[in-house]
Amino acid sequence: MTLTLPETCNAWSRPDFGAVLLAELRQADALHRPLQQGMRRGSHALTDDVALLVLQRGEQDDGLWVKAGLSYFSIDPGCACEADPTPMSELPEYVELRIAIRRSDGAATLQLLEA
């Protein structure tokens, strides 16, 4: 899958940059894999209530880069049997991503950073 973030490039100097980045990542369905890989507590990442905080950002040559922290929830659903005592509670999770965006065409890559 090729990820492109053209609106994020256009919003680089605007105050709503983080919101635009999160919206484009959601629209491209690009969050599920890194959130799933970065989980520490649950077994299934929930992507419907993700908060993104831009921690650092910069420019280099033809590119932009962003280090972002994402807060989200996961669940550990158990077997969902009638007598299963496992509650379906949401567990808080946090990951950091490095996002590189090529300015010329908006092509982007996501890298999960180690905690």
What is 5-74 written as a DSSP string? -HHHHHTTTSTTHHHHHHHHHHHTT-SHHHHHHH-SS-SEEEEEEEEEEEEEEEEETTEEEEEEEEEEEE
pTM reported for the whole predicted model: 0.88
pLDDT bin (cut points 50, 70, 90) of residue 85 is: low
pLDDT bin (cut points 50, 70, 90) of residue 114 is: confident
pLDDT bin (cut points 50, 70, 90) of residue 80 is: low
> What residue has token string 């959601």?
26
Mean pLDDT of the chain: 92
When pLDDT is averaged across residues 100-115 and rounded to a whole number, the result is: 93
Residue 86 is predicted with a pLDDT of 65
What is the side-by-side order of every strand in the sheet holding 3-4? 3-4, 107-113, 91-102, 63-75, 44-60
Go through 88-104 and write b for each residue having 16 or more CB atoms within 10 A of its CB, e for each that does not.
Answer: eeebebebbbebebbee
